[in-house]
Amino acid sequence: MTTRRQAATAHAARGWAVFPAGTPGSGHSHPTPTDPDCARCKAEKAPRSGWKWKQRNSSNPAVIAEHWPADDPNIGIACLPARLVILDLDTPAHGAEMPPEWAAKGGIREGADVLAHLAEERGEPFPFETYTVITASGGMHLYFKAIPGRPIPNSAGRIGPMVDVRGDGNADGTPGGGYVLGAGSKVGNGEYRVSYDIDPMPLPEWIADLADPRPATVTPIRQQAPRDTSTRPRSRFVGLVDTVLNAPKGQRNNALHWAACRAAEMVRDGHVDQHAAYTALTEAGVSIGLGEREVQATIRSAFGSAMGRTA
């Protein structure tokens, strides 16, 4: 079993600046299901008491291996010295609610859905082929290489609801940057685990623009004809299938499950035929190399979960 010392050393070997955070216990229950961030969880997420993490961090594996605290605490990763920008895609597990204007779009219930919708609007791919961690509460951390010369500040909800940013600095050049808990950490009864182990990709420019908008250039406004929305559900379902077909290796089953959940919600709302959706997703999953039995089990699970939810 990998210790947090070993995990911290491995993170440092990637060139990431790490520091000790709170020391987890043996697990504990929470006061209410909608309040997983209880006082104990917050202490496990926080930097080690009295530790000036912005100054005291290291990307030297030998230093980390030798000097990591004996109580084997959680692993903080400092974004600024690591030159990382990390998106924190949250879930309703923290008690957050999707704003009505977003919930009305259909099938948008968590941060990953919001980011997928924003990518779809811009014709950009999602999921991303980048280092990805599943958090203790079931959310997702997407790691990106910072854009040289364009520091991104921390923010909460600026990109969209349930999408937070842990950046590498402030646009005005003042010291800044955030941190996350790295894979191998434990909070409450959950663990942070790698779901896609690959080097981080560069932060997409369109995300940088949402996270830290630049002054807009004034351009003439062109009148546009009213959009025909009659084919929008069909186009959205085609986009879901494309998400499966273009899913990077290591995330294919996750992409299939996400797409199947969204398709099931469209079926429930009367936008897509269930048999057609099931067939198209099965063919997409098999075509990218997943076993047919695995594909059908994933789709059944997603449909069972999504169809059982209330709108």
Beta strands in the chain (DSSP E): 17-20, 75-78, 84-89, 132-134, 140-145, 155-160, 163-166, 179-181, 186-187, 190-191, 193-196, 201-202
Segment 15-38 shows an average pLDDT of 78
Query: How high is the pLDDT of residue 1?
Result: 64
pLDDT, tens digit, 9 for 90 and up, residues 150-209:
999 999 999 999 999 999 987 666 667 999 999 999 998 899 999 999 999 999 999 999
Query: How high is the pLDDT of residue 68?
Result: 97
Q: At what angle do helices 292-307 and 274-287 cross, to 10 degrees?
A: 140
Distances (CA, A) of 231 to 182, 227, 279: 42, 10, 20
In the structure, what pLDDT confidence band is assigned to residue 230 with cuts at 50, 70 and 90? very low
Tell me: cis bond preceding 127? Omega within 30 of 0 counts: yes
pLDDT, tens digit, 9 for 90 and up, residues 87-140:
999 988 766 788 989 988 888 989 999 999 999 999 998 888 999 999 998 899
pTM: 0.72
The token pair at 153 is: 């500040």
Query: How high is the pLDDT of residue 155?
Result: 94
The token pair at 262 is: 């969204």
Share of the chain above pLDDT 90, in %: 50
In the structure, what pLDDT confidence band is assigned to residue 311 with cuts at 50, 70 and 90? very low
Query: How high is the pLDDT of residue 232?
Result: 56
Round the average pLDDT of the chain to a whole number and report it. 85
Higher pLDDT, 217 or 99: 99
pLDDT, tens digit, 9 for 90 and up, residues 79-100:
999 999 999 999 887 667 889 8
